[in-house]
């Protein structure tokens, strides 16, 4: 149910499903025959991560999670990255695919990508459902991207505002009076 007083729909359930399938097809082609570790960034990527993972057909595939934050309770990245949970699996000899809900400033993903390379990953690529390049502070681009968005505050399908709205099956633009 779309709460028109709070959101304007940006991406419907059916659009999300089609986009996730297209991204998975590219990942399957690129990682065929390789050892892949798919790393979800908690908490925001959880819904996208689960849907994407079910469509990945790479035989030698492991999953892990990392939790890092730079937002706190605000609507913009603070730039101060806190690693709350690290990956558990050994990374040397493996290709890593980071799965994130949105690439915004790039602060968190730059930090995580460098961290995973330091842990010995052969390669680290980034998959994000949404890319917001207008807010970029670090020189980073996703290897796999579902949709480029303007500088809007979006929620749903794992994306949140103050831990709310993650459970929505679509993505909506949160009206500014909600978070201002």
Q: Choosing from 95, 101, 104, 160, which is the catalytic residue? A: 104
Residue 104 lies in a domain: yes
Q: What are the residues whose beta carbons fall under 8 Å from the beta carbon of 41, sequence distance 6 or more?
A: 65, 66, 67, 68, 98, 99, 100, 101, 108, 112
For the record, the structure tokens of 122 come out as: 């052969």
When the pLDDT of each residue in the chain is averaged and rounded to a whole number, the result is: 92
Q: What is the CATH number of the domain that holds 91?
A: 3.40.50.2020
Q: Is residue 157 part of a domain?
A: no
Place of tokens 């990508």: 113
Encode pLDDT of 19-51 as tens digits: 999 999 999 999 999 999 999 999 999 999 999
Residue 26 lies in a domain: yes
Range of the domain at 104: 19-68+81-151
Please check whether residue 109 lies inside any domain of the structure. Answer: yes
How many angstroms separate the CA atoms of 124 and 121, rounded?
7
Q: Is residue 24 part of a domain?
A: yes
Q: Please state the rounded mean pLDDT for residues 64-91.
A: 79
What span, in angstroms and rounded, lies between the C-alpha atoms of 145 and 133? 12
In a domain, 4, yes or no: no
Tens digit of each residue's pLDDT (9 = 90 or more) over 93-124: 999 999 999 999 999 999 999 999 999 999 99
Mean pLDDT in residue range 127-147:
96
Is-catalytic flag, 104? yes
> Within a domain: residue 146?
yes
Distance CA 21, CA 56 (A): 9
Confirm whether 113 is domain-assigned.
yes
Count of the separate structural domains present in the chain:
1
Q: pTM for this one?
A: 0.91
């Amino acid at each position: 149910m779309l709460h028109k007083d709070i959101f304007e729909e940006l991406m419907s359930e059916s659009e999300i499903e089609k986009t996730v399938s297209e991204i998975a097809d590219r990942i399957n082609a690129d990682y065929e025959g390789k050892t892949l570790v798919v790393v979800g960034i908690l908490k925001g990527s959880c819904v996208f991560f689960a849907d994407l993972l079910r469509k990945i057909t790479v035989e030698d595939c492991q999953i892990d999670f990392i939790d890092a934050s730079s937002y706190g309770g605000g609507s913009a990245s603070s730039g101060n990255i806190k690693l709350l949970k690290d990956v558990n699996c050994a990374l040397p000899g493996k290709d890593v695919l980071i799965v994130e809900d949105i690439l915004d400033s790039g602060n968190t993903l730059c930090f995580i990508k460098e961290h995973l390379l330091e842990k010995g990953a052969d390669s680290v690529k980034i998959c994000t459902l949404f890319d917001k390049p207008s807010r970029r502070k670090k020189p980073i681009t996703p290897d796999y991207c579902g949709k480029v968005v303007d500088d809007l505050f979006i929620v749903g399908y794992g994306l949140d505002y103050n831990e709310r709205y993650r459970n929505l099956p679509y993505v909506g633009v949160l009206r500014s009076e909600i978070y201002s």
